[in-house]
Structure 1
Amino acid sequence: MVKYSDSSWSALADKYNLVKRPYGKGQIYDFPPHWSNGWIAEVNPAKGLFVSSAWLTPSEQIVHTINSSNPFMMLFCIDCGEIVYSQQGKKKQALFPITHLIINPQKQFTFTFFKDVHYCFTSILIFDDFIKPFLKERTNAPRISVEDAKLWKTQHYNTPDIMLIFEQIRWAVRNTDMPLLSFEGMTLHLLSSITRNFPDIPKRRSNRRHYVTWENEQKIYKVKNKIDEDILNLPDTIELCRIAGMSESKLRQSFKNHYGIPLYRYIRIETMKRAMQLLSADHLSIRNISELCGYKNPAKFAAAFKNVHGITPSDFRKSFNL
């Protein structure tokens, strides 16, 4: 019998003797009071599906070890804190504040949380056993299996629509006010939305002028990676050009040709995604958040937020009772 919970946060709670108690239709794992009262709330709405929201500051390094031969994926939407993903024989991967996809390598791997670092994230653990029944005998089924997910890239799941679904999941877990079936629906909605961003047949370059060489792709990736590390503290344009080894005009053209979006637009979208996460912090006013996002005028910030998300910051807070 498959022991799905061995890969869930419940296993971490057992390893570190965290206090487990009922929380809505799931459980919450409380860290000791001297750990700034951290917690991980987790719901298991169906076989092979675990949905979680976490807020913690460890007083010591903690390691979540997973060793499962069963196909699954984990999606993380990290608000703050850098989690390190490690697998023997592979280079360690830093999971910084953005959305990340981890496919089970079907051998042991770990997530490391460092001492005195504040973490806030939403995670979804999805086994193929959860997905398969929904796809069985369905015509034109979306390609959302774990095998399909191996082809997904960051640009497919790091989008405003995916961020909004993650926010809905986060607050459904924390507010404990949704039926279990809703988590199944939101998870399927999330996976299906990713497939919408992932075309079956990539568009071919119609003009040699728009072609980006492999070497320049690697340079552009370094620039994007630097932007994603800390969207609210961006290097200036001169530094981005230095990283790419390109002039400003070539950097902007290459970025647009490769990712299909202008560099300035990408930065605005990522900034507004971060703003959406910051809106969950009760101690921050919308004016505070606008300043953190580089806007001196809250009205201009609200307009930019609405342009990306289709809703104003104040209406977003109201929709989640924040």
Structure 2
Amino acid sequence: MGTNEYYSGNRELAVQLGCSVKKYRTKGIKYILPPENGDSWLIDVHPAPGLFVTDAYFSLHQPVTRIYEIEQPGLWLFSLSTGDVTIMEQGKKSRRLQRGIHLLVNQGKPCKVIFGSSETICYTSTWIFADFLADYLKERGRGEELRVEDALTWLSHFYNTPEVLMAFEQLKYTIRISIAPFMYYESKIIEILSLILCGVQNQGYSEMFIAPKRPKHLTYQNIKLLWRVKEELDKDILSPPNVEQLARIAGMGTTKLRQAFKVYYKLTIADYVRQEKMNYALRLLSNDEMSVQNISTFLGYASPSKFTVAFKRVHGFTPRDARKTFNI
């Protein structure tokens, strides 16, 4: 029979969570979990046929399993701030999501998502269905093409970038305020896809020049080990393993690991850790419960000024500038 996300977004998940429903301000629908779950909700906005954007913040007393059987092909882009979420796809290993941006490519096969109860789940996501993409590109008539199946080749570092994260954070607070016109949401989703495509296309171009240089050549086995190294770093970016520990995971010497990591990710390990710390800081700044000084201390900086310098080096603007974009 299938599930109906194409037409109703998170309505069926909301029923499964026992939510009540109310129209949310001038745009969107807010699903409110039962009172015993505390301040818990999901907000859906449906700006165009084939497009949903969602912001969710909820706690559960026990895990909830949702099986998605969506007929229409589409992309689910998912920016996870906190929470225990596991995705299980046919023919693939289950993956418990770390904090960051994730992608699910739907081609009509069932997919299971387990929402855990160990911590509050907070995420912003978008369902982008194939007909929305086709209609958007057809209307502009510029010969550009993007198909759902193209996303099967995207690696995580194409969409886990500071620019894409910033776009999702802006989207999150716009959904919560829920007063922007529908074209804002369409434009923001197209911006996110465009940022991803910039990485995909530029990465492919640069690899044409890197691959033939044998001293810097990476085998597929090397690359798989580098993915494992990155996963270990992402588990706790505030207290990452040292280079010696990472080298043991990769089965390389420390010098080889440093060189291979920089060739593949275009960053040193230290720069990657610094970048991801500042991405984490960006998420903290989008919430007004912590001051800049609190955040700098939490991240281990000796003073707010040192934190500001590090943040600006990565993002190109100061923490206070970031807060202005969130109207904080």
TM-score (norm 1): 0.93
Pick from 48, 53, 56 the counterpart of residue 54 of structure 1: 56
Provide Cα deviations, 1:212-263, integer angstroms capped at 9, x if missing partner.
Answer: 2222222211111111222122122221122122222211101011222222
1:204 pairs with 2:186: no
Q: 1:172 corresponds to which residue? A: 174
Alpha-carbon distance between aligned partners in 2 of 1:302 and 1:126, rounded to the nearest angstrom? 36
Aligned length, in residue pairs: 321
CA contact (8 A) 1:144 1:192 kept: no
Q: Choose 278-287 or 200-209, whichever is displaced more.
A: 200-209
Q: 2:88 corresponds to which residue? A: 86
Shift of 1:129: 1.1
CA contact (8 A) 1:232 1:292 kept: no
**What letter matches 1:221 in structure 2?**
W
Provide Cα deviations, 1:77-127, integer angstroms capped at 9, x if missing partner.
Answer: 111113100134432111110100100141211211112421111101110
Provide Cα deviations, 1:9-59, integer angstroms capped at 9, x if missing partner.
Answer: 211012233011111300111111211221111101110111011111111
CA contact (8 A) 1:86 1:109 kept: yes
CA contact (8 A) 2:85 2:114 kept: yes
Alpha-carbon distance between aligned partners in 1 of 2:294 and 2:183, rounded to the nearest angstrom? 37
Considering fraction of residues, name the structure with more helix.
Answer: 2
Alpha-carbon distance between aligned partners in 2 of 1:221 and 1:143, rounded to the nearest angstrom? 29
Q: 1:277 to 1:254 in 2, by over 3 A?
A: same
Shift of 1:140: 4.7
**What letter matches 1:38 in structure 2?**
S
Shift of 1:147: 1.7
Alpha-carbon distance between aligned partners in 2 of 1:143 and 1:187, rounded to the nearest angstrom? 16
Q: 1:291 to 1:109 in 2, by over 3 A?
A: same
CA contact (8 A) 1:66 1:108 kept: yes
Q: Choose 289-298 or 273-282, whichever is displaced more.
A: 289-298
Unaligned runs of 5+ in 1: none
**What letter matches 1:253 in structure 2?**
Q
Pick from 241, 250, 253 the counterpart of residue 244 of structure 1: 250
**What letter matches 2:160 in structure 1?**
N
Q: 1:13 corresponds to which residue? A: 14
Alpha-carbon distance between aligned partners in 2 of 1:79 and 1:137, rounded to the nearest angstrom? 35
Q: 1:195 corresponds to which residue? A: 197
1:129 pairs with 2:131: yes
Q: How does 1:290-305 map to 2 (within 5 A)?
A: 290-305=296-311
Q: 1:129 to 1:139 in 2, by over 3 A?
A: closer
**What letter matches 1:42 in structure 2?**
D
Pick from 143, 147, 150 the counterpart of residue 148 of structure 1: 150
Shift of 1:63: 2.0
1:284 pairs with 2:290: yes
Q: 1:184 corresponds to which residue? A: 186
Residue 203 of structure 1: SS of its match in structure 2?
Answer: helix
Alpha-carbon distance between aligned partners in 1 of 2:136 and 2:6, rounded to the nearest angstrom? 21
Unaligned runs of 5+ in 2: none
Q: 1:118 to 1:137 in 2, by over 3 A?
A: closer
Alpha-carbon distance between aligned partners in 2 of 1:233 and 1:31, rounded to the nearest angstrom? 34
CA contact (8 A) 2:87 2:97 kept: yes
Provide Cα deviations, 1:156-202, integer angstroms capped at 9, x if missing partner.
Answer: 10111111111111111011131111100111111111101112544
Q: 2:263 corresponds to which residue? A: 257
Q: 1:180 to 1:6 in 2, by over 3 A?
A: closer
Shift of 1:6: 6.0
Q: 1:221 to 1:40 in 2, by over 3 A?
A: same
Residue 153 of structure 2: SS of its match in structure 1?
Answer: coil
Q: Choose 278-287 or 296-305, whichever is displaced more.
A: 278-287
**What letter matches 1:279 in structure 2?**
L
Q: 1:3 to 1:203 in 2, by over 3 A?
A: same
Residue 197 of structure 1: SS of its match in structure 2?
Answer: helix
**What letter matches 1:85 in structure 2?**
I
1:273 pairs with 2:279: yes
Alpha-carbon distance between aligned partners in 1 of 2:64 and 2:249, rounded to the nearest angstrom? 34
Q: 1:160 to 1:115 in 2, by over 3 A?
A: same
**Percent sequence identity over aligned pairs:** 36
Q: Choose 39-48 or 308-317, whichever is displaced more.
A: 308-317
Q: Which runs of 4+ in 1 moved over 6 A?
A: none
Q: 1:270 to 1:143 in 2, by over 3 A?
A: farther
Alpha-carbon distance between aligned partners in 2 of 1:166 and 1:309, rounded to the nearest angstrom? 15
**What letter matches 1:18 in structure 2?**
C
Shift of 1:73: 0.6
